[in-house]
Structure 1
Amino acid sequence: MSRQFRLPLHSPPSFAREHFAASPTNAQAIAAIDAWPRWGDGRLALIGAAGAGKTHLARDWALKANAVVVEAANPLAAPLDLAALRGRAVLVDDADRRAQGGHLDDETLFHLINMAGVDGGTLLLTGRLAPVAWDCAVPDLRSRLNALTAAIIDEPDDIVLEAVLRRAFAARAMTPAHDVYPYLLRRIPRSSLEAIAAVDLLDEAASAQGRAITRLLAGEVLAFEGDEGED
């Protein structure tokens, strides 16, 4: 079984589409995003686990659509001016993790959904869970959430994770041994965030010890279970 390892990123990630790794696991979500502005009722929910790439796709869309970005999980964000958002493209990131007492209560989200499709307005919501599983106390909002079209990003496959690893190593001007990639792909958790965290740890260890990035170093630093016999 793989261990989990986490380390904060050293620099902000790029949300450009050319830096997104396309694969069968996210093909449906890409097609749904690219169908904008022809979304049904002007709204779409983009669903995927943490590290699956939903924020990457959503922020890339927001740039193209000149969308207002609402960080639903941020309890310190300023209250929304719904009138100013009428007819605009709006991205609500982490809509299923709306901060308690924050700026996006049930009534506000209900109005945002109703505004989508009016006067050219569009709404993209992201979440880890499907909208039918989101908490809400307003019956009218419940019916709106249940009716949302959802595009799903599945768990990252090896195509996605290898692309993430290669970009992360390249960003640090590091060239690992060729067999490090298949070694890591067999062991790291199925998450882009975990893949980047693994590269961060290897970067730190290689720099501190003056060593090249090899399978041996990866095994020592990341301490994968069941690798006692690996060299």
Structure 2
Amino acid sequence: MTPKQIPMGLPLPAAMGREDFFVTPANAQALTTVEGWPNWPQGKLVLTGPEGAGKTHLAHLWATEAAGQVLPARAVLLGDPDALIARTKHIALEDAEALVGLPAAEEALFHLHNMILAAQGRLLITAKTPPARWALGLPDLASRLQATAVVALAPPDDALLEAVLVKLFADRQLQVTPSLIAYLLPRMERSLAAAQTLVADLDRRALAGRRPVTRRLAAEVLDEESGGLAE
């Protein structure tokens, strides 16, 4: 009996290069706005979009172009604003909604905001929703963020998901047919994160069973991911 190959489950590093950012109507406006960072009104921008829409990728593209740094929003609690901007005055803060309702964090963000703009730096903030919907407790911070320009990433469209799936399969050296991609698109969760999980699961199952990645295998994985609710 041939032993079953056990997949190691090692994650591939996320590809954050410009060549990995596929432009479609879902993200074209956001990309253009972020790339125009030298001319952001008041030197700041809020980038919104649902989870898995590509906010992190776009933030890293901006940081590379602007010689900035990308930080989780809660990093404002780890040190004073001087320490955070010691390396660069251009900062992207991810998932800023995590700070809402935390007085110390809101105060730290307020001071960081003011210091970056005073230094003529750039501040990119990512979040699922615009600041107007946040229940901020610090009025001065609320007024400044609500006056910040906002650009939104739409949920990934079919063109973006198709391009991402093709690349993810190619990165894992998996041979798939266009018909398999067409089968996956209407059945998968509509996010880039879900595409990564789906391809990783297909790779794992194919390796474990020494099977090709086929529509039958895809149906099994989709059913597994949905808890048996997939069609």
**How do 1:98-109 residues align onto structure 2 when only pairs under 5 Å count?**
98=99, 105-109=105-109
Question: In angstroms, what is the RMSD of aligned CA positions?
Answer: 2.4
Distance 1:109 1:197 in 2: 33
Q: Tell me: CA distance 1:173–1:140, structure 2 relative to 1, closer, same or farther (3 Å).
A: same
Q: Tell me: CA distance 1:49–1:137, structure 2 relative to 1, closer, same or farther (3 Å).
A: same
Distance 1:135 1:181 in 2: 41
Matched-pair contact (CA < 8 Å) for 1:43–1:116: no
Distance 1:59 1:94 in 2: 14
**Partner amino acid, structure 2, of 1:134:** W
Match of 1:131 in 2: 131
Match of 1:4 in 2: none
**Greater CA drift, 121-130 or 104-113:** 104-113
Any idea what SS the aligned residue of 1:105 has?
helix
Kindly state the Cα deviation for residue 83 of structure 1 after the two structures are TM-superposed: 6.7
**Partner amino acid, structure 1, of 2:201:** L
Kindly state the Cα deviation for residue 121 of structure 1 after the two structures are TM-superposed: 1.0
Q: Tell me: CA distance 1:84–1:97, structure 2 relative to 1, closer, same or farther (3 Å).
A: closer
Match of 1:65 in 2: 66
Matched-pair contact (CA < 8 Å) for 2:81–2:111: no
**Greater CA drift, 152-161 or 11-20:** 11-20
Kindly state the Cα deviation for residue 116 of structure 1 after the two structures are TM-superposed: 4.0
Matched-pair contact (CA < 8 Å) for 2:85–2:116: no
Kindly state the Cα deviation for residue 49 of structure 1 after the two structures are TM-superposed: 0.8
TM-score, normalized by length of structure 2? 0.86
Distance 1:74 1:114 in 2: 16
Match of 2:181 in 1: 181
1:2-44 Cα shifts (integer Å, max 9, x gaps)? xxxxxx8702202111101111011110111011111000000
Runs (5+) with no aligned partner, structure 1: 1-7
Q: Tell me: CA distance 1:9–1:141, structure 2 relative to 1, closer, same or farther (3 Å).
A: farther
**How do 1:158-173 residues align onto structure 2 when only pairs under 5 Å count?**
158-173=158-173
- Percent identity (aligned): 39
**Partner amino acid, structure 1, of 2:186:** R
Kindly state the Cα deviation for residue 74 of structure 1 after the two structures are TM-superposed: 5.8
Match of 1:89 in 2: 90
Any idea what SS the aligned residue of 2:189 has?
coil
**Partner amino acid, structure 2, of 1:94:** D
Match of 2:52 in 1: 51
Matched-pair contact (CA < 8 Å) for 2:101–2:136: no
Match of 2:33 in 1: 32
Q: Tell me: CA distance 1:129–1:9, structure 2 relative to 1, closer, same or farther (3 Å).
A: farther
| Residue 118, structure 1, aligned to residue 118, structure 2 | yes
TM-score, normalized by length of structure 1? 0.86
- Higher share in helix: 2
Distance 1:160 1:9 in 2: 25
Kindly state the Cα deviation for residue 169 of structure 1 after the two structures are TM-superposed: 0.7
Q: Tell me: CA distance 1:84–1:198, structure 2 relative to 1, closer, same or farther (3 Å).
A: closer
Distance 1:11 1:181 in 2: 20
1:57-90 Cα shifts (integer Å, max 9, x gaps)? 0111111211133211469x73133376287111
Matched-pair contact (CA < 8 Å) for 2:100–2:137: no
Q: Tell me: CA distance 1:150–1:101, structure 2 relative to 1, closer, same or farther (3 Å).
A: closer
Distance 2:61 2:10 in 1: 19
